[in-house]
Amino acid sequence: WRLVPSDRARNNITVVMGFMPSWWEHEYGIKFGRNFHLDRKFHVDSLVRMEQLLLDRFGDLPDFSHGEDYSGGCAFERMWGDALIPALFGCEVSFDGPSGHPYAYELGLDDSRVQGLTIPDIESHPVTQSLRPRGDREALGMKGELGFEGVINVAYKLRGQQLFVDMVDAPERARHIFEVVWKTIDEFVRMVRTWQDPLVDRPTYFVNCNCMVNMLSPQMYEEQLLEFDKRFAQQFELFGIHTCNWTVDPYLDSIKQIQDLAYLDMGADSNLEKVHELFPRLYPAVFLHPEEFRSLSPEDITKEVTRIGKALGKGYVLLSDLEVGTSDNQIRAAYEAAACS
């Protein structure tokens, strides 16, 4: 929501990039361990430094955007990572894995514990207290975005692989998990939005992460999970879906049932013609897989971004999770091709 392709001052195709923690450590010695995710001052100081490093290195690129201005000291960009909501349910979280991302271990709830699963005490939870604004300055609005994850992703952390068995053999049990997770995410996100926008000056927004939906048939998604996406769309003025770089085609007819979808990302092999047909007001976002991107020459990147740009018309090219070994020339080729699209 920070970039608006319909803004006439911007190019039609907006590139958004992000780097893996290993890239930051390799290039600048910045580590994404426990301190980055839990120590507020260390977190903000790191963000400010990272922001300036990106500006110095890539600030001359067309339409380059580095996100929020963190210099005011009020930020919680990805604190707790994707482990945030699982931690509310009691999942053990490791902050020291080789990926640099917090990792929530599966809770492995058995049938009886699933039956007793309820919404956590969000207001007084230690995770909430670690994020809550402190003092008058922070109360004016926290910057950044948290890893709220999504219904299917969190449900899997709670139940494990047995969740997929439940969806076939005990759908009411799976539905109970989904229901509790949905209510927890919804309540937590709306609480955080009041921290970020205490004067209610901006539209409320949320992107549900459906990273694991491609492990389900389109029918299972429509019958067991689409309802929760529809509910999110009713709760927030701007609602979107993150698909985690898979081909979205089999699910498009179901997703079309969501009113006024404001964001949808997808893999590069998705049928953009059909996306435009079903969502004429949407500016789609297309991922370039980081390993594939790293393997392409700048010339091939120019061709691929140009191809995607023509199919998009207006929208985003997402260079997420860029890894060590990705060259500046490759990144520059992507931005320059997008500017010409």
Average confidence score pLDDT of the chain: 93
Is position 192 within any domain?
A: no
Q: What are phi and psi of 93, to 5 degrees?
A: -120, 130
> Out of 92-101, 136-145, 243-252, which region has the weakest mean confidence (pLDDT)?
136-145
For residue 191, pLDDT beyond 50: yes
- The answer to whether 163 touches 101, Cβ cutoff 8 Å, is no
Q: Find the mean pLDDT for residues 59-70.
A: 84
Report pLDDT for 137.
67
Q: Are 30 and 49 in contact (CB under 8 A)?
A: yes
What are the phi and psi torsion angles at 28 (to 5°)? -135, 0
Q: What angle do CA 252, 257, 259 make, to 5 degrees?
A: 115
What residues make up the domain containing 302? Answer: 1-73+288-341
Q: Is residue 279 part of a domain?
A: no
Residue 6 has pLDDT above 90, yes or no: no
Residue 36 lies in a domain: yes
Confirm whether 239 is domain-assigned.
no
pTM for the structure as a whole: 0.94
Return contacts of 49-57, CB within 8 angstroms, 24+ apart.
Answer: 50/24, 53/28, 57/328
pLDDT, position 134: 83
The residue assigned the tokens 């809550």 is: 132
- Closest by Cα among 152, 261, 254 to 212: 152
The number of beta carbons lying within 10 Å of the beta carbon of residue 30 is 17
The pLDDT of 59-87, averaged and rounded, is 88
What does the alpha-carbon distance between residue 228 and residue 222 come to, in Å, rounded to a whole number?
10
Count: domains in the chain: 1
Closest CA to 87 of 157, 191, 150, 164: 157
Task: Kindly state whether residue 59 falls inside one of the protein's structural domains.
Answer: yes
* 333 vs 338: CA distance, rounded Å: 9
Kindly state the average pLDDT of the residues 221-243: 97
**Residue 194 CB-half CA count within 13 A:** 6
Please report whether residue 55 resides in a domain. Answer: yes
Q: How far apart are CA 310 and CA 13, in angstroms?
A: 9
Q: Which bin fits 135, alpha (ψ -120 to 50), beta or left (φ > 0)?
A: left
* pLDDT of residue 148 exceeding 70: yes
Q: Is residue 299 in a domain?
A: yes
Higher pLDDT, 199 or 50: 50
Instruction: Look up residue 58 and give its amino acid.
Output: F
Encode pLDDT of 253-262 as tens digits: 999 999 999 9
Q: Which pLDDT score, from 0 to 100, does residue 5 have?
A: 52
Distance CA 244, CA 33 (A): 23
Q: For strand 263-266 and strand 238-242, is the pairing parallel, antiparallel, or unpaired?
A: parallel
Tens-place pLDDT, residues 7-24: 666 678 999 999 999 999
Q: Is residue 241 part of a domain?
A: no
Inform me whether the pLDDT recorded for 283 exceeds 60: yes
